Chains A and B, each alone.
Chain A
Amino acid sequence: MTSVIVDYGSGNLHSVEKSFRKMANKLGADNILLTSCPERVANAERIILPGVGAFAACRDSLSRSGLFEAVEHATIRRGVPFLGICVGMQLLATVGLEHGHTPGFDWIPGQVEPVQPNDRKLKIPHMGWNELGPSLHHPLFHGLPPVTDVYFVHSYHFVPKDPAAAIAWTDYSGPIVAAVARDNICGVQFHPEKSQIAGLGIVGNFLSWRP
Chain B
Amino acid sequence: MLKVRVIPCLDVKDGRIVKGINFVDLTDAGDPVEVARKYDSDGADELCFLDIAASQENRGTILNLASQTAETCFMPLTIGGGIRNNDDVEMLLRAGADKVSFNTAAVANPEVVSTAANRFGNQCIVVAIDAKAVDDGKWEIFTHGGRRSTGIDAIYFAREMERRGAGEILLTGIDTDGTKTGFNLELTRSVSSHVGIPVIASGGVGNLQHLVDGIIKGGASAVLAASIFHFGEHTIKEAKQHMAAAGIPVRIT
Closest to B123 in A: A153
Q: Does A40 sit at the interface, judged by CB under 8 A?
A: no
Q: Does A125 sit at the interface, judged by CB under 8 A?
A: yes
**Contact of A151 with B196 at beta-carbon distance under 8 Å, contacts A15-B98, A128-B5, A129-B251 already known:** no
**Contact of A18 with B70 at beta-carbon distance under 8 Å, contacts A11-B93, A130-B3, A196-B75 already known:** yes
Chain B residues with a Cβ closer than 8 Å to the other chain, count: 33
- Enumerate chain A residues within 8 angstroms of B2, measured Cβ to Cβ: 122, 126, 128-130, 152, 172
Q: Does B40 sit at the interface, judged by CB under 8 A?
A: yes
Query: Which residue of the partner chain, among B40, B120, B221, B251, contacts A127 with CB atoms under 8 Å?
Result: B221
Q: Does A154 sit at the interface, judged by CB under 8 A?
A: yes
Contact, CB under 8 Å: A194 / B94: no
Contact, CB under 8 Å: B75 / A194: yes
- How many angstroms between the C-alpha atoms of A149 and B253 in the bound complex? 9
Closest to B4 in A: A128
The A interface, classified by DSSP as helix, strand, loop or mixed, is mixed
- Enumerate chain A residues within 8 angstroms of B120, measured Cβ to Cβ: 11, 52-53
* Smallest CB-CB A-B distances: 10 pairs: A53-B121, A12-B93, A129-B3, A153-B123, A123-B198, A129-B251, A14-B96, A149-B251, A52-B121, A130-B2
A: interface residue count bin: 35 or more
- Enumerate chain B residues within 8 angstroms of A97, measured Cβ to Cβ: none
How many Å from the CB of B121 to the closest CB on chain A? 3
Contact, CB under 8 Å: A129 / B98: no
Contact, CB under 8 Å: B71 / A18: yes
How many Å from the CB of A191 to the closest CB on chain B? 8
Q: Does A45 sit at the interface, judged by CB under 8 A?
A: no
